[in-house]
Amino acid sequence: MKEMELKYGCNPNQKPSKIFMEDGSELPVQVLCGKPGYINFLDAFNGWQLVKELKAATGLPAATSFKHVSPAGAAVGLPLSDTLAKIYWVDDLGELSPLACAYARARGADRMSSFGDFISLSDVCDVSTAKIIKREVSDGVIAPGYEPEALEILKSKKNGNYNIIQIDESYVPMPQEKKQVYGITFEQGRNELKIDNAILENVVTKNKDIPDSAKIDLVISLITLKYTQSNSVCFAYGGQAIGIGAGQQSRVHCTRLAGSKADNWMLRQCPKVLNLEFVDGLGRANRDNAIDNYIGDDYMDVLADGKWEKIFKVKPEVFTKEEKREWISKFDGISLGSDAFFPFSDNIDRAKKSGVKYVAQPGGSVRDDIVISACDEYGMAMAFTGIRLFHH
C-alpha cells in the first residue's frame, strides 16, 4: 500500500487526512486490525524509533507507552521485583517474558498518563506481553511482528477494533525529513545521533564514578528525551523511566514535573500504599486514581468528605508529608537526563530531593560552573554530553 486514508487529522474537522510515502514507494507498515488515526500513527512512529534505539543501545527488549506524541514511560526488559509486579498490577500473571517486563515497566512508570496509550515494542509481541496489553485501556500497538496466539489475544480487544500495526523493521527512512506549518514547508536532516555509553565519558564533577547500571539508566533517559516534546527532563532508575517532564517552557518546571512523577513512583512502593484495601470490583484505573489521590497532598479533603467508603474497605491512615519524605529518602542512585543544558542550579536542588545521583546534560550554559558546583555539593556525578535533544 502506497498511501492510507485516515478518518481525520488531529481533530474531526481536519479533513481529508492520509499517510503516504512522498517518493511513491510502499508504506513500511501494515494494519492488521482496527483503523489507526492520525495521532495514533504519530505516537506509533515516534515510539517505534524510541524502542528500536533503546534495544540497539542496551541489547535488551524495549517498550514505550506514548500519549499525545510524548512518552509516558519507556523501559527495557529487566526482571520485575515482587514489589514492582504488584504496583504494576501484573503480580497475578506469573513469570513474564523480558518484553512483557519492559512493557509492564513502561506502562507502570506513570499509570495515570498511560491510560489510553499507544504502545511500541522493539520485538515480536509474545503471548506474555499480549496478556498485559489485553487488560489495559489502550488505543493500539506497533511491533515488528506478532506471535499467532498473541495476535488473536489483541484482536479480541475493543470488540475486534483494537489498532494493531506491524512495521517492517528493515525500513530505513530518508535522511531528510519535512513538515508543513501554515502552508510553509520545513526541511531538516533526521536526528540520527547515536546515543550510547560513549557520550557519557566527559564527567565534569569531582565525583567521576558512574556505574554501569547508572549508564544504562542515563542512556534510557536520553533516548527517551530524543522523542519527547521539548523542553523535557527524564528521571530513570532500574532500567526504566520513572518520571518524564515534557513540553514545559521552563527547564525547572520540567524538573519539578518529572521529579513529582518519580516521587509518586517511589511512594507507590511504600507499604502504607501497598497495603491499601480497595472495595471489591474496583478497576485498575480507578485504583490508580485513588492511589494518586492518596499520595497527593489534598487527600485530607477526600477523607473529610467521606468519599473513601466508595474506594476503600477500611478508612486509610493519613500519609503525612514527613512519612513521604522519609520513604523517598530511602531511594538513592536515581539518574537524570535533560534534553538541553541546565541554566540554573535550582534544577539540581530539585533533583536531589528525589534521590538523583547521576546526571547527563549537554552543558554549554554560561552558568555551567554554578551547576557543577551544586552537583559537587551533593556528591553527584554529572556528564556533559555536548548534544542537544530538542524534539518538536
Which one of 52, 68, 134, 272 is the catalytic residue?
68
Average pLDDT for residues 234-258, to the nearest whole number? 96
Statement to judge: residues 13 and 160 lie in one domain:
yes
Taking the C-alpha atoms of residue 326 and residue 311, their distance in angstroms, rounded to an integer, is 26
User: Which of 137, 172, 207 is the last residue in one of the domains?
Assistant: 172
Q: Does residue 42 fall inside a structural domain?
A: yes
Active site residue 391: no
Average pLDDT for residues 78-83, to the nearest whole number? 96
Given pLDDT bands bounded at 50, 70 and 90, which one contains residue 7? very high
Q: Which domain holds residue 135?
A: 3-172
Statement to judge: residues 134 and 209 lie in one domain:
no
Statement to judge: residues 29 and 151 lie in one domain:
yes
DSSP state of 112: H
104-124 residue pLDDT tens: 999 999 999 999 999 999 999
pLDDT of residue 378: 97
pLDDT of residue 314: 87
For the chain, the C-alpha Rg in angstroms (whole number) is 21
**Whole-number mean pLDDT of the chain?**
94
Average pLDDT for residues 7-20, to the nearest whole number? 94
DSSP state of 231: S
Q: Do 355 and 378 meet the contact criterion of CB atoms below 8 Å apart?
A: no
Q: Which residue has the cell 501484573?
A: 90
CA torsion sign for 357, 340, 220, 59 is: negative
pLDDT of residue 317: 87
Statement to judge: residues 240 and 351 lie in one domain:
yes
Is the pLDDT reported for residue 380 higher than 90?
Answer: yes
Residue 336's SS3 state is strand
Q: DSSP H helical segments within the chain, as ranges? A: 38-58, 82-87, 98-108, 111-114, 127-135, 148-155, 212-226, 251-267, 271-274, 284-295, 299-305, 321-328, 346-353, 368-378
Average pLDDT for residues 374-387, to the nearest whole number? 97
Which one of 40, 46, 163, 231 is the catalytic residue?
231
148-185 residue pLDDT tens: 999 999 999 999 999 999 999 999 999 999 999 999 99
Q: Do 239 and 216 meet the contact criterion of CB atoms below 8 Å apart?
A: yes
CA dihedral 74→76→81→86, nearest 10 degrees, is 40
Number of domains in the chain: 2
Within 10 angstroms of residue 335's Cβ, the number of other Cβ atoms is 30
Q: Does residue 73 fall inside a structural domain?
A: yes
Given pLDDT bands bounded at 50, 70 and 90, which one contains residue 140? very high
Within 10 angstroms of residue 196's Cβ, the number of other Cβ atoms is 14
- Alpha carbon of 389 to those of 73, 227, 339, 356, 385: distances in Å? 17, 8, 5, 21, 10
Is the pLDDT reported for residue 372 higher than 80?
Answer: yes
Statement to judge: residues 95 and 228 lie in one domain:
no
Q: Does residue 177 fall inside a structural domain?
A: no
Of 355, 353, 354, 385, the closest CA to residue 368 belongs to 385
Let me know if 368 is exposed, middle or buried by CB neighbors in 10 A (0-12, 13-18, 19+): middle
Q: Which residue has the cell 530531593?
A: 353
Q: Do 129 and 77 meet the contact criterion of CB atoms below 8 Å apart?
A: no
Is the pLDDT reported for residue 353 higher than 80?
Answer: yes
pLDDT of residue 328: 96
User: Which of 172, 205, 239 is the last residue in one of the domains?
Assistant: 172
Statement to judge: residues 62 and 124 lie in one domain:
yes
Q: Does residue 187 fall inside a structural domain?
A: no
Q: Does residue 281 fall inside a structural domain?
A: no
Query: What CATH number is associated with residue 342?
Result: 3.40.140.20
Active site residue 313: no
Statement to judge: residues 159 and 210 lie in one domain:
no
Q: Does residue 392 fall inside a structural domain?
A: no
Grid coordinates belonging to 161: 477494533
- Geometric angle at alpha carbon 63, from 59 and 69, rounded to 5°: 125
CA dihedral 26→31→37→38, nearest 10 degrees, is -30
33-73 residue pLDDT tens: 999 999 999 999 999 999 999 999 999 999 999 999 999 99
Statement to judge: residues 96 and 151 lie in one domain:
yes
Within 10 angstroms of residue 128's Cβ, the number of other Cβ atoms is 21
Q: Does residue 34 fall inside a structural domain?
A: yes
Statement to judge: residues 165 and 236 lie in one domain:
no
Q: Does residue 112 fall inside a structural domain?
A: yes
Given pLDDT bands bounded at 50, 70 and 90, which one contains residue 205? very high
262-319 residue pLDDT tens: 999 999 999 999 999 999 999 998 899 889 989 987 676 666 677 788 888 888 888 9
Q: Do 248 and 257 meet the contact criterion of CB atoms below 8 Å apart?
A: yes
Statement to judge: residues 226 and 139 lie in one domain:
no
pLDDT of residue 2: 86
Statement to judge: residues 229 and 108 lie in one domain:
no
User: Which of 140, 172, 204 is the last residue in one of the domains?
Assistant: 172
Statement to judge: residues 333 and 379 lie in one domain:
yes
Active site residue 321: no
Grid coordinates belonging to 148: 499467532
Percent of the chain surpassing pLDDT 90: 90
pLDDT of residue 41: 97
Active site residue 231: yes
Is the pLDDT reported for residue 209 higher than 70?
Answer: yes
Count of helix runs (H) and strand runs (E) in the chain: 14, 15
Which one of 40, 55, 67, 163 is the catalytic residue?
67
Average pLDDT for residues 332-348, to the nearest whole number? 95
Within 10 angstroms of residue 20's Cβ, the number of other Cβ atoms is 13
Given pLDDT bands bounded at 50, 70 and 90, which one contains residue 359? very high
